[in-house]
């Protein structure tokens, strides 16, 4: 079922917050102070990013585990197609399910900085739509995917981008999320 509510039953806007996994003690403190301050806004969920090429995998996992144990918030870790095989991603998803995670953010992901052309792994999920379908086979996750009101920078045009979003939704995504800030003059 696709979620299409723009606001909560009381009319307040639906929001989520995205956090980066901390890479130092100071950043860890900042993260938990931020989570504490933002929790009072009762976000639908809080997502935790997954660095390029899976570079923050362990830190993402640790942050999600702590959100689950120390808060009432719904944690939604990011999973990407980059840097891991289908089997590795499926194993990570099963581990999240076993931890109590029920919401994931499925993204193709950004290739490493030194790579200019995206080339999917032959043993991996090629695109976010493939990842969504795979995650739904692992468990009945609530899956969010990315939408681009101003068109993804790699999309040749808006129609192509919209077709790509439809593929993700057809694969089983429950909602599409966007970044809060974008050019309002477009």
Catalytic pick among 3, 18, 72, 150: 18
User: Is residue 145's pLDDT more than 70?
Assistant: yes
* 3: in domain: no
Express each pLDDT in 157-177 by its tens digit: 999 999 999 999 999 999 999
* 185: in domain: no
**What 3-state class would DSSP assign to 159?**
helix
* 2: in domain: no
- Report the domain count for the chain: 1
Q: What is the DSSP letter of 153?
A: T
The CA distance from 112 to 79, in Å, is 15
Residue 94, phi then psi, degrees to nearest 5: -60, -40
Q: Which of 6-15, 21-30, 86-95, 99-108 has the lowest mean pLDDT?
A: 6-15
- pLDDT at residue number 52: 56
- pLDDT at residue number 2: 47
* 10: in domain: no
The band of 133, judged by pLDDT with boundaries at 50, 70 and 90, is: very high
How far is residue 25 CA from its own chain's centroid? 24
- pLDDT at residue number 131: 98
Handedness of CA 70, 94, 86, 176 (dihedral sign): negative
- Closest of 101, 99, 54, 49 to residue 75, by C-alpha: 101
Annotation says 150 is catalytic:
no
Which H/E stretch holds residue 80? Answer: strand 75-80
Q: What is the mean pLDDT of the chain?
A: 89
* 76: in domain: yes
The band of 1, judged by pLDDT with boundaries at 50, 70 and 90, is: very low
* 152: in domain: yes
- Note down the domain range covering 169: 16-177
- Closest of 71, 17, 70 to residue 44, by C-alpha: 17
* 71: in domain: yes
> What is the domain-level CATH number for residue 52?
3.20.20.220
- Token reading at 141: 């996750």
């Amino acid at each position: 079922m696709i979620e299409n509510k723009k606001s909560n039953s009381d009319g307040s806007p639906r929001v989520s917050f995205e956090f980066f996994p901390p890479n130092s003690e100071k950043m860890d403190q900042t993260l938990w102070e931020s989570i504490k301050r933002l929790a009072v806004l009762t976000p639908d969920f809080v997502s935790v990013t997954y660095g390029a090429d899976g570079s923050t995998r362990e830190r993402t996992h640790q942050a999600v585990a702590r959100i689950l144990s120390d808060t009432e918030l719904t944690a939604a870790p990011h999973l990407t197609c980059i840097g891991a095989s289908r089997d590795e991603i499926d194993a990570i998803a099963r581990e999240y399910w076993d931890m109590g995670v029920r919401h994931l953010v499925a993204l193709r992901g950004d290739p490493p900085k030194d790579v200019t052309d995206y080339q999917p792994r032959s043993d991996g999920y090629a695109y976010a739509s493939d990842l969504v379908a795979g995650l739904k086979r692992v468990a009945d996750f609530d899956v969010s995917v990315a939408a681009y009101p101003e068109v993804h920078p790699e999309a040749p045009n808006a129609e192509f981008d919209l077709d790509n979003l439809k593929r993700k939704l057809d694969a089983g995504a429950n909602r599409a999320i966007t970044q809060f800030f974008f050019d309002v003059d477009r």
